[in-house]
Structure 1
Amino acid sequence: MFGKVSLALAATMMMAGAAWADPIEGNWKTQAGDTALIGGSDSFSITLKTGKYAGKTIGSLKATGSNKYAGNITDPANDKTYSGKATLSGTSLKMSGCVLGGLICKSQTWHKL
């Protein structure tokens, strides 16, 4: 009896953990075709998993509400860090990095894998 209750409790906890995961977490296909992993809890780190810069952490974002995130994004080619924003819409993530207080920005859209 105790074993069945423990098994049911464990299954419930695993399903609840998956439900609590932030929708930004997971693997994303970048515009360049590489795979990036976004993970964390309070602060989400972005790490390239494939491509020329595999293993490099390229950003950190925090949730700001309504599927929006803000933080820093680093261009892996030149190691310059920019003010970054991301907006999640379904399985698409619009990423943007800006300089000069948002005067000049570059954007790209990533897709959830």
Structure 2
Amino acid sequence: MIARFVLGLGLAIALAAGPALADDVNGVWLRESGASKVKFAPCGGAVCGTLVWIKEGTDTPAKVGQRLFDRMKSTGPNAWAGSYNNPDDGKTYDATMTLSGGTLTTSGCAFGGMICRSSTWSRAN
């Protein structure tokens, strides 16, 4: 009887912690173009992404240390939504991220989702 209670309690705790069992997005990610790396880390109950490296010779107004992804909050297993600060035009866009294994896909949208652009990232070593 006690063993069933403990097993049931353990199962209930595991199910309640579902989103916490999602793949970990924290760490450094390399953009598909190979031109930049962003480090995702916890920030105030969400996840934020900060530019940590730009490939030499890359023409961009972005600066190392600039926060690109802001207040990315979990929307389900391996999915987040927040905002993207675009250094190219200085504007902020709605953004989403999805993680599948070692691939992170980010998407920023304008005009209520009518125009979107996405990028694929891989874990940097």
Fold shared, TM-score > 0.5 on shorter chain: yes
Give the Cα–Cα distance (whole angstroms) in 1 for the partners of residues 33 and 85 of structure 2: 15
Return closer, same or farther for 1:40/1:21 CA change in 2, 3 Å cut-off.
farther
Alignment counterpart, residue 67 of structure 2, candidates 57, 62, 65 = 57
Distance 2:111 2:21 in 1: 36
The aligned amino acid for 1:95 is T
Give 1:1-113 correspondences, 5 Å limit.
Answer: 23-33=24-34, 34-40=36-42, 42-51=45-54, 53-60=63-70, 61-113=72-124
- Measured in 1, the distance between the counterparts of 2:47 and 2:87 equals 17
**Which letter maps to 1:84?**
A
Identify the residue that residue 13 of structure 1 maps to in structure 2: none
Greater length-normalized contact order (CA 8 Å, ≥ 6 residues apart): 2
Shift of 1:53: 2.0
Cα separation, 2, equivalents of 1:31 and 1:73: 17
Structure 2 CA distance for aligned equivalents of residues 23 and 37 of structure 1: 12
Name the CA shift for 1:75/1:32 in 2 (closer, same or farther; >3 Å): farther
